[in-house]
Structure 1
Amino acid sequence: MLGRRSVLAIGVGTAAAAMTRSAFAAEGDLDAAYINAKVWTGAGPDTRSDAIGVSGDRIVAIGAAAVRARTGKRTRVVDLQGAFVTPGFIDPHVHFVKAATMLSQPSLRDAADPKEFVARIAAAAKGLPKGQWLEGGNWDQDRWGGEMPHRKWIDAVTPDTPVAVTRYDLHMLFLNSLALKLAGIDRNTVSPPGGVIEKDADGEPTGIIKDSAKDLVLRAIGEQTPEQIDAVTRQGIELALSKGVTQVHPTELETISFDSTRRLRAKGETGLRFRHYLPLKDWEAQAALIAREGRGDDWVQWGACKVVFDGSLGSRTARFYEPYLDEPGTRGIVVTDPADLRRWVEGADKAGIQVTAHAIGDEVNDIVLDTFAAVAKVNGPRDRRFRVEHVQHMKPTAIPRFKAQDVIASVQPYHAIDDGRWAVRRVGEERLKTSFAFGSLVRSGAHVCMGSDWPVAPIDPLTGLEAAVDRETLDGKNPQGWHPEQRVTLAQAMRCYTREGAYAGFNDKKLGLIAPGFLADFVVWDCDFFAIDSHLLLKAKALRTIVGGVQRYG
């Protein structure tokens, strides 16, 4: 249960932790001794060691002397030959099954112009049986100047293939005419609350479907079988482990990843740790599940909810106080009614369920913070760890509120170097001064965890580290860093991917550090991150990924 704390889970640096380490010293031989290592423990910016001792699924000794004292005939000794070791990385924001499914779907992310975009869709359609949906995509219209695709672009090359390919931010689908027909969308279809069905000058759907309107399409596509879902979950687990990720937080509006990992856990197949954030509107069902089954275990956890409050900057559906510069007729949309937000947050929080909210635009970040403050006042003090996902654009007054209200900022550094290519066209330079404000948030003393938003960005945490440290946009136009005042140090970024990720999931007493009493989750790398130029981080490779004392990769 997440609410329980054992003796082994007392924080490092306390007297109780010292007693715990002494208790370990009196026990028997280690199961495994990892020696001759350069260990960054995560306890501080420069805290290092040279050996790790493991018994069962726990770290029980740190340092060559302590490990040597516990090494016996039954101990498996692993000489790391000077390799660099870090705590396992935690990715606190992924769309796991969706992303894993897209591994085998066509990619449109780097299509440089409409011609290439259409050609890739045509080629993918040719490889599918007649009538099978073409999904995947991750397209980005800003790569070719911003012109939105139109169904007429692809109708001729996909006459028998319904197409529903997503923009890389996951807030927008592009459909051909056949897909629109199967979804029941025509000129008379009204955009639902929190969504947009884009129409052309003639009043006909263009094929662009945004935010909650996507539900009309998803219903028409239907669901994968449990066997298909579990197969792609396994593929996602394998990829995550190969990148040094040892726990993920699926933050989704459906239960597909939750259901799959529960099935795999029942078979003992996980290997990667999961903490699930389920739809906030269904918080009562989760409260009932907790009453029946608790909150999971160290492999598959629940007891948290997520709500989406606005859209995305790229889709112009993130909600701002002022209009978009490149589309003055809109300030974005609100996906969830603020009254529902307040009612659901209050109910879930009262039931002891952690809550996080997707908020990108400056207006909705203020609304979410206001809501969290009001609920905390009504429900009274407790360790609730409210989170905000993305926290991309803020008024200057919002930044200190995270520390003051003890709200976690869950951010994705890769988004800064991606959106930074074109964000100024959307909202102008003034609003960008406090956008993707990682440095300001970290320096304020707020809890900041960093992740990927996979598949919006790669699940590889090294891409996030490099983005947070250098902030060089993907187009190469900001070699000194895009808004460089918001850069953070490598040690700060690594803390955000380890200790802060653990804190964000109520796992900070057992994950995020290499220390006695903590779960044996750590990664062996082929180079010392602190000994190379930050631009070379992307070339680093995980050699071994150990989770729960077992080598799961390498």
Structure 2
Amino acid sequence: MAIRDGRIIRVGNYSFVQEVSGYGTKELNLNGKIVVPGFIDSHVHLLPGGLQMARVEVRGVNTKDEFIRKIKEAVENMEKGSWVLGGGWNNDFWGGELPSASWIDDITPHHPVWLTRMDGHMGLANSLALKLAGVTSTMQDPVGGTISKNENGEPTGLMIDSAMKLIISCIPEISVEERRQALHRASRCALMNGVTTVVDMGRYFPGAPTEHSWEDFSDVYRWADSSGKMMIRICLFFPLPTWSRLHDIVQTTGRKLSQWLYIGGVKAFADGSLGSNSALFHEPYADEPWNFGLQVTDTESLYNMTVQSDKSGLQVAIHAIGDKANDLVLDMYESVASTNGKRDRRFRIEHAQHLTHGTAAKFGELEIVASVQPDHLLDDADSAVKKIGVQRAQEGSYLFQSLLANNALVAFGSDWPVADINPLNSIRTAIKRIPPGWDKAWNSAECMKLTDALNAYTISAARACFLDEDLGSLSAGKMADFVILNAESWDSFVTQETTSVAATYVSGVQAYP
């Protein structure tokens, strides 16, 4: 492979590539190691991930005592009155019991606490944080959210989906400098794992202030781009309600702001998450027979904003996890396309985790991008059986191979910080589908081939966000973003968990290590 000025100019045998060699050409012999295009993570929350790296980390905690100990340790080093912030907890790891403010009130009498669940759709506040937010037993649930209460009607501290905004609005605003440092940390983390491009879905969650995305755009991303501090390529999605503002920018600048920064489109939410029992299903939850989940954006608003965004030429991505939410979004996309006429729009559904029979075929028929996250199945396998029952979990969850077989464009991502940025692990997960503690695959018919899983993290991911002319494959004319793996064969990669990223190159320049 020959590279000049950050782009690939030739790929072929040695003598063909050698023809363009000249004075000052550097030659790198990898001695048979595997080279792949730079990985494209199709769904991250970049600044939250970078911020989380400097906060209380409770991911992987598997006992109530350890959860409490982590908070206690954090408080010991903090000034009185300062917020304890963090996240990543998963109650399924300690048997399913949901945490409550009572667990931590005794050790945090002078510190408001806010700890988000690993899926980002639920958080735990202590009693002091609830008091600061004015959350009481008489407060009604906000639209698209739930304030969890005990049998006495008192708030437990758990806030679901749009109810989270009640707490978050009380947390002191994160400084510009903190967010810029978060971008730096997050970018280094991506490069360590071979990720050279991310599709950033921002700090947006159901009910969140849409202005956050625009503050980050100007204060962090445009600043980093103009001051030469970008380390990875970033494709940005903005809250759907702000579509007209984004349209105005695209009209002025185009989608490619620089070789580092791209405008992706707009994003919205149809439902919540499985772990928070707020993903929207046709049938109720097995562990809560009265609960079908939450539709967090009403259908009419979602449709009207999607029609306008699409008419303006913007790409639309909508979060849908439950089977009813996916059907709702697919039907809406079909209607919008019929209203606005034929064009290459590449509508996206983010997550597409649980589908009814025949829904996978509709992704292909309507040319909808399935933006999915393989490593979520590792966290969901046991809880899905409890929450929606064995049959629904087995037949309708994480249907990657069915989507491919029905000609859907499948793009892989991590949803970091919900799961780690780790394409190599995600590719293995998609191939093997063996959750922790299991001795067989979760629905082996859905196991993917290696080449398909690789495509989902490279060329298909590039197509899914309209960047395939510049990125996604090692071919002449494209940006020279590539990753060297410390493996000499694909067999060793698949069978050995030890394969890792040896080096990451962006525009032909070594960026990691």
Residues in 2 aligned to 1:370 and 1:443: alpha-carbon distance in whole angstroms: 21
Three-state SS of the structure 1 residue aligned to 2:106 is helix
Find out whether 1:510 has 2:474 as its counterpart: no
Residues in 2 aligned to 1:180 and 1:238: alpha-carbon distance in whole angstroms: 35
Are 2:243 and 2:266, in contact at CA under 8 Å, matched by a contact in 1?
yes
Identical residues among aligned pairs (%)? 38
Are 2:264 and 2:465, in contact at CA under 8 Å, matched by a contact in 1?
no
Shift of 1:292: 2.8
Residues in 2 aligned to 1:468 and 1:258: alpha-carbon distance in whole angstroms: 33
Corresponding position of 1:58: 7
Corresponding position of 1:363: 324
Are 2:280 and 2:294, in contact at CA under 8 Å, matched by a contact in 1?
yes
Corresponding position of 1:330: 291
Alignment match of 1:457 (pick from 419, 431, 437): 419
Q: Measured at CA, do residues 322 and 195 of structure 1 come closer, stay the same or move farther in structure 2, by a change above 3 Å?
A: same
Alignment match of 2:428 (pick from 466, 479, 494): 466
Q: Measured at CA, do residues 528 and 181 of structure 1 come closer, stay the same or move farther in structure 2, by a change above 3 Å?
A: farther
Q: Measured at CA, do residues 319 and 186 of structure 1 come closer, stay the same or move farther in structure 2, by a change above 3 Å?
A: same
Alignment match of 2:445 (pick from 485, 499, 502): 485
Shift of 1:535: 4.3
Corresponding position of 2:242: 282
Alignment match of 1:258 (pick from 195, 203, 217): 217
Residues in 2 aligned to 1:419 and 1:246: alpha-carbon distance in whole angstroms: 27
Corresponding position of 1:150: 100
Three-state SS of the structure 1 residue aligned to 2:317 is strand
Q: After superposition, what is the alpha-carbon deviation per residue over 1:177-236, rounded to whole angstroms, capped at 9, x for unaligned?
A: 011111121112211100110011111110000101111111100321111100111011
RMSD of aligned C-alpha atoms?
Answer: 1.2
Find out whether 1:499 has 2:437 as its counterpart: no
Residues in 2 aligned to 1:480 and 1:257: alpha-carbon distance in whole angstroms: 43
Shift of 1:396: 1.1
Residues in 1 aligned to 2:349 and 2:386: alpha-carbon distance in whole angstroms: 25
Find out whether 1:308 has 2:269 as its counterpart: yes
Residues in 2 aligned to 1:112 and 1:366: alpha-carbon distance in whole angstroms: 35
Corresponding position of 2:387: 426
Are 1:250 and 1:257, in contact at CA under 8 Å, matched by a contact in 2?
no
Are 1:417 and 1:482, in contact at CA under 8 Å, matched by a contact in 2?
no
Q: After superposition, what is the alpha-carbon deviation per residue over 1:489-543, rounded to whole angstroms, capped at 9, x for unaligned?
A: 111100000001100110111211001111111111111451316242x422222
Structure-to-structure mapping, 1:81-120, within 5 angstroms: 81-120=31-70
Corresponding position of 1:396: 357
Corresponding position of 1:12: none
Aligned residues: 500
Q: Measured at CA, do residues 120 and 434 of structure 1 come closer, stay the same or move farther in structure 2, by a change above 3 Å?
A: same
Shift of 1:303: 4.3
Q: Measured at CA, do residues 176 and 267 of structure 1 come closer, stay the same or move farther in structure 2, by a change above 3 Å?
A: same
Q: Measured at CA, do residues 268 and 533 of structure 1 come closer, stay the same or move farther in structure 2, by a change above 3 Å?
A: closer
Give the letter aligned to residue 235 of structure 2.
Answer: R
Find out whether 1:548 has 2:513 as its counterpart: no
Three-state SS of the structure 2 residue aligned to 1:78 is coil
Residues in 2 aligned to 1:328 and 1:217: alpha-carbon distance in whole angstroms: 29
Give the letter aligned to residue 125 of structure 1.
Answer: V
Give the letter aligned to residue 237 of structure 1.
Answer: S
Gaps of 5+ in 2: 205-211
Residues in 2 aligned to 1:534 and 1:80: alpha-carbon distance in whole angstroms: 20
Alignment match of 1:291 (pick from 243, 248, 251): 251
Corresponding position of 2:312: 351
Q: After superposition, what is the alpha-carbon deviation per residue over 1:11-42, rounded to whole angstroms, capped at 9, x for unaligned?
A: xxxxxxxxxxxxxxxxxxxxxxxxxxxxxxxx
Q: After superposition, what is the alpha-carbon deviation per residue over 1:311-340, rounded to whole angstroms, capped at 9, x for unaligned?
A: 000000000011100011210001111101
Alignment match of 2:405 (pick from 433, 436, 443): 443
Corresponding position of 1:242: 192
Three-state SS of the structure 2 residue aligned to 1:421 is helix
Shift of 1:421: 2.1
Three-state SS of the structure 1 residue aligned to 2:36 is strand
Residues in 2 aligned to 1:210 and 1:243: alpha-carbon distance in whole angstroms: 32
Residues in 1 aligned to 2:370 and 2:396: alpha-carbon distance in whole angstroms: 14
Residues in 2 aligned to 1:241 and 1:530: alpha-carbon distance in whole angstroms: 21
TM-score relative to the length of structure 2: 0.95
TM-score relative to the length of structure 1: 0.89
Residues in 1 aligned to 2:116 and 2:186: alpha-carbon distance in whole angstroms: 19
